[in-house]
Amino acid sequence: MTKEQVQARIEEIGVIPAVRLSSAEEALFAAEAVCSAGIPIVEVTMTVPGALDVIANLVKSSPELIVGAGTVFDSETARRCLDAGATFLTSTGLDLDIVELAEREKVLVFPGVMTPTEVHTAFKAGCQLVKVFPCSQLGGAGYIRALKSPFPNVSMIASGGVTQQNAAEFIRAGAVAVGVGQHLIPRKAIDKREADWIRELARRFVTIVKDARAIAV
């Protein structure tokens, strides 16, 4: 898929599950659960032990799944993620070296941004999509709304503290998607290997986004 196709798919689904777990086995279990529930997207964070192997495994075993790399801290790691098959890169903060690598390789990148200056800098570097993080702590949906006013052409993902209770607010405020971690992939569900629990949460988030978009329109 081209980077434009990957971005379009992310915006269509509207939910990016962030897999930040304690082992490769747990990460694979979580990714397969969310995918089977209608979210064919997964962000494997570099904090997962063996994250590169997880990415390569998912790319090989689940061709329908859009597999990305998250919490990428430098361009060297970003290169290794791309070699493993990642189709998008995202970072906690704005690292222009990572952005430049992704642009050069024609791969989707959405860096973490917090301030208007960072949004502006990312956009000038070629990013049509950014991740506002940590969104809830910055003011929640109101902060997304405030950023969208001067940056109407920048697509924004709300990430950080997104729950079932506030996801709709972020979408109505103008976010094209939400990044969700523990509220979609609970620690207890992983410990008990309860895939149905994760699937139910995945379906709920997809419905929340869909309903919020209908109201926004």
Q: Which residues are catalytic?
A: 43, 131
Q: Is 121 exposed, middle or buried (0-12, 13-18, 19+ CB in 10 A)?
A: middle
Amino acid at 178: V
Q: Which residue has the tokens 């997809």?
A: 206
Count of all residues that appear for the chain in the document: 217
Q: Are strands 112-113 and 15-19 parallel, antiparallel or unpaired?
A: unpaired
Concatenating the DSSP letter of every residue in 138-150 gives: HTTHHHHHHHHTT
Residue pair 205/184 in contact (Cβ under 8 Å)? The answer is yes
Helix, coil or strand: residue 156: strand
